[in-house]
Amino acid sequence: MRNGGQVLVESLVALGAKKAFGVPGESYLAVLDAMHDSQGAFDFVLCRNEGGASFMAAAWGKLMGAPGICLVTRGPGITNGSIGIHTAMQDSSPMLVFVGQVGTDMKGREAFQEIDYRAVYGTMAKWVVEIDQVERMPEILARAWTTAMSGRPGPVVVALPEDMLTSMTEVAPLTRAGVVAEPAPNAEALAQARALLMRAKRPAIMIGGCNWSVEGRANLQAFAEAADIPVIATLRYQDMFDNHSPCYGGDLGLGLAAGVRRTLAEADVVLAINTRFGEISTEGYTLFEVPEPRQKIIHVHGSDRELGKIYIPEIAIHAGPNAFAKALREGGAVSGDWGAWREEARSAFEATFALPPQPSPVDMGVVTTHLREVLPDDVILTNGAGNFTVWPNKFFKFGPNARLLAPQSGAMGYGVPASIAAKVAYPERTVVCFAGDGDFQMNCQELASAKQAGAQPIILILNNGIYGTIRAHQERHYPERVSGTSMVNPDFAALAMAYGFHGERVSRTEDFPAAFARALASKTGAVLDLDISPEALTPRQTLSQMRAAALAKKGQ
């Protein structure tokens, strides 16, 4: 006989779960009790806020390709954790959120901390389910795991009534995870896609999504290089293609580079693999006309619900990215007279690394150049949201072993928890988080979680004393009317040391290499507080220039 908590934990171990991120709550005490016996096989990473825990689980899913597990209590716990659910959905990251629920005999009475999870999270998560009968735990859990992993991966919310978790049952826990093979491309559709590419004059490949395998990425790169076709990554998935490849042409991120815009705007055939057409990756749905783009789009996705969702494709192929890349490569070379077109895209990408000196005590252009030289090939970079993300997203070249954990949802506060999750997953790898001063303070309390878990990354705080993205919009639309965007910050180095990290303030560009060397050598992780001028708000336009341009336009 087992109670529901034991069935859950033993089933998760059988499914392959290794870690759970969460904050304890009385609504799922039976699960915590069962985890007492799973230590070493399935461990609880104790977090300080459910928002940080859910970010860690979302990042784990993105990095590991298996569901990140988040445990939260009912009511306030799950509402705090909702930010990670939203982020995992936008990232197409597999995730399971287990949340306590009031007893089945109290439901519908607005009992203490009661929430109708299906109603609240039904449009935010991929699936929401409540397990009212302990005997159905293995069945529903198996479905939840498969749902999170298959098609377009995403978050699944599983509600666990308190009395169900303490009920005893003879039902056996799960013993294994089922294997769900990726859908393979239809042979006729694949032949049509190859023929369309062969007829193109300016083809381009557009990739995204986090469920690529090493083999799938290698197959795609081999095909692209043999065909000499430029490859563009969607927002914050530039780590899915080797940036050192002559075919890589940049990313469809915030602050879209002119060369990337030109590549896709002027392409006549676009092979879009494993990507959904979001607002940012289509520049507000202007790169391709809705619903019939002038470019001929070949859309390949593991979920049939993404095909034709925004644009009418010339060819829609229901296939997983790795199965498609394998079939594409094995089908033989595609070639055409577009070498100069590919070279133009690559040259435009390389040109983006040429920067003027930054008007700041610490010049981030110089800093990122140094980081490109000294960081190991398998580094993991993380970031949250803000103007500062331009530095890890636009001025670092991701090789085949490097990874980027960054939110497509544009969620502030993601970078610090994501870096902790990465160190939990890969304690031997170098993990560097880029955080703005506002972004860092969204989840800086998770430094305590990092200390307790022995998972302490290097955190670079770009400290300019403002909410930079909002200040930029403010100066462009309401020049000289600053409101609500200036911050008074704590001593970040002292705060880091209070949490057991190495901490120091870097006030000059020339001091950064030595400071970063100390950070790399630190066995306790490190927080480097970088003195950044508000003027250096973007790499190529100062805050004063933004304001002057807006005032000039206003005076016309």
Confidence of residue 102 (pLDDT cuts 50, 70, 90): confident
Residues forming a β-bridge with 232: 206
Q: Look at residue 182 and tell me if it is in a domain.
A: no
Residue 6 confidence (pLDDT): 98
Return the number of other C-beta atoms located less than 10 Å from residue 297's C-beta: 23
203-223 burial, b at 16+ Cβ within 10 Å, e below that, comes to: bbbbbbbbbbbeebbbbbbeb
Residue 155 has φ and ψ, to the nearest 5°, of: -85, 140
500-521 burial, b at 16+ Cβ within 10 Å, e below that, comes to: ebbbbbbeebebbbebbeebee
Q: Distance (Å, rounded) from C-alpha 423 to C-alpha 488? A: 30
Residue 127 confidence (pLDDT): 98
Residue that finishes a domain, picked among 293, 325, 351: 351
Same domain, 199 and 147: no
Residue 492 confidence (pLDDT): 98
Tell me which H or E stretch contains 233.
strand 231-234
Give pLDDT tens digits for 477-496. 999 999 999 999 999 999 99
Task: Read off the pTM.
Answer: 0.96
Q: Return the axis-axis angle of helices 339-351 and 258-266, rounded to nearest 10°.
A: 160
Same domain, 135 and 274: no
Residue 111 has pLDDT above 80, yes or no: no
Confidence of residue 326 (pLDDT cuts 50, 70, 90): very high
In one letter, which amino acid is 193? Answer: A
Give pLDDT tens digits for 417-476. 999 999 999 999 999 999 999 999 999 999 999 999 999 999 999 999 999 999 999 999
Same domain, 47 and 90: yes
Residue that finishes a domain, picked among 138, 169, 200: 169
Give pLDDT tens digits for 120-141. 999 999 999 999 999 999 999 9
Give pLDDT tens digits for 368-379. 999 999 999 999
Residue 556 confidence (pLDDT): 65
Same domain, 519 and 543: yes
Confidence of residue 112 (pLDDT cuts 50, 70, 90): confident
How many domains does the chain divide into?
Answer: 3
Helix ranges (DSSP H) in 36-91: 50-64, 76-91
Residue that finishes a domain, picked among 289, 320, 351: 351
CATH of the domain at 263: 3.40.50.1220
Give SS3 for 416. helix
Q: Distance of CA 417 to CAs 83, 132, 236, 433, Å?
A: 12, 32, 17, 9
Same domain, 143 and 288: no
Q: How far is CA 163 from the centre of its chain?
A: 36
Residue 108 confidence (pLDDT): 78
When computed from its CA atoms, the radius of gyration of the chain, rounded to whole angstroms, is 24
Residue identified by tokens 């896709």 is 264
Confidence of residue 110 (pLDDT cuts 50, 70, 90): confident
Q: Return the axis-axis angle of helices 415-425 and 446-453, rounded to nearest 10°.
A: 10
Q: Mean pLDDT of all residues in the chain?
A: 96
Nearest to 487 by CA among 547, 540, 437: 437
Q: Tell me the average pLDDT across 504-532.
A: 98
Residue 531 has φ and ψ, to the nearest 5°, of: -80, 105
Same domain, 152 and 195: no
Same domain, 347 and 440: no
Same domain, 306 and 425: no
Q: Distance (Å, rounded) from C-alpha 285 to C-alpha 287? A: 6
Same domain, 338 and 390: no
Q: Tell me the average pLDDT across 517-522.
A: 98
Give pLDDT tens digits for 139-169. 999 999 999 999 999 999 999 999 999 999 9
Contact status, residue 552 vs residue 544, Cβ threshold 8 Å:
no
Q: How far is CA 329 from the centre of its chain?
A: 27
Residue ranges making up the domain that contains 139: 2-169
Residue 194 has pLDDT above 90, yes or no: yes
CATH of the domain at 473: 3.40.50.970
Same domain, 323 and 385: no
